[in-house]
Amino acid sequence: MQYNPGWNNSSVNLLHVRAVGPSDTLHYIWSSIGAPTVLLVATASRSSTLCVNWTQLLSPTPAGAIWIDPPSSVVYSTAVVFTKVFEYSEAKTLEELFYPTYDLSDFSWDSVNHTLNHTALTAEFTGIPATDPSGSFSNGSLAFRVTAYEASGRDGPLPSLLHTANSSKVEFVLAGVAPRGNSSRFVLELATVEETGVVQKLRSTRSIDDEYTPTIFEMLSLVAKSQNDSSTLSFLQWKATAYGSQTPGREDSIQCRSRGLQAANWTLPMSGIVHAYFGEGVGSTYTVSAINISFGGEDGKVYQEKRYLSWSALLGFGQPPKDTFSPLVISIMAVALGTPMVMLLVGSCVVLFAQRKRYSEYEPIN
């Protein structure tokens, strides 16, 4: 993990996570220059490196300021941009009342260097609006917590996402932010940038096994697929839940819904590293898709109690991890289904034996 490689000023944030495999390298570049963004680049070289022209990156025309050396080693690249946070409440007429939008490209962000943990492979981007007329952020903040992984495993805290070494986790956190309504709900808007020939698809998978995330039976995945060979190139995966506590339990669950994936026909908010890497072709040469993820129960009062909201997602390369039935659930199913079968089999044997024994006591009648 490198913070602002080649730059000694901590007034801006760029975090480079580099994962080296047997014959390839995965690059994750996180930044809060403009809207919070993560750039994902996969290369076919163990020695590929990130290059940054800082003077150009921080200029009004950052195109070409970020590249991977050697350029020929790049096999795939994409970006996820966290663009806006909406706040709304429902009036008595069931109409949605929206408050002024929080544009994340207008936030002021703390230095990530203070939260960087090279042992745990974690970092935190914490910010507040540059201007806050309502005073909602006077005692609160918005954060994106980043975690990288060295091996496959499962997170301990809920929602206990299953991960691989080819993935990283991002956690969206609202802490102490005063709602502007009596039953406010929040919506996080995010956008993806893909190369030509790559399409985004939203998938929903349901399972009867909720051992690791109690009462949550749905997993959602936003996958990027190649139109040529239908192979999955990258993913963003999350459980259909958020939580209202720093130490979440089942009772802290907050309903999470995804509001349709669509092609973005609006201008992508200013993201320094997206324009620096992809150039000026974003929206024409490269396709932009957007999705809204909303948080809140039926009455929208879950956030009011603790003023804390946490939503976790996994992002990475290749196929998203798939949960399988755990040994505990398999054992329960085996007992639940096997016991009636054994009883039926034993009962049938007893009945047949009893019938044979009873008829054997009589002589045939002429």
Q: pLDDT 10s digit of each residue in the chain, 366 long?
A: 999 999 999 999 999 999 999 999 999 999 999 999 999 999 999 999 999 999 999 999 999 999 999 999 999 999 999 999 999 987 665 677 899 999 999 999 999 999 999 999 999 999 999 999 999 999 999 999 999 999 999 999 999 999 999 999 999 999 999 999 888 899 999 999 998 889 999 999 998 888 889 999 999 999 999 988 888 999 999 999 999 999 999 889 998 999 889 887 666 666 789 999 998 877 678 888 999 999 986 555 678 888 999 999 999 999 999 877 556 656 665 666 667 777 888 888 888 877 765 555 556 676
pLDDT at 101: 95
Contact assessment for residue 281 and residue 274, using Cβ atoms and an 8 Å cutoff: no
pLDDT at 362: 59
pLDDT at 265: 62
pLDDT at 86: 95
The model carries a pTM of 0.88
pLDDT at 334: 62
pLDDT at 208: 84
Contact assessment for residue 347 and residue 355, using Cβ atoms and an 8 Å cutoff: no
How far apart CA 196 and CA 184 sit, in angstroms, is 39
Label residue 56 exposed, middle or buried (CB < 10 Å: 0-12, 13-18, 19+): middle
pLDDT at 364: 66
pLDDT at 95: 73
Q: Which residue has the tokens 């929040």?
A: 186
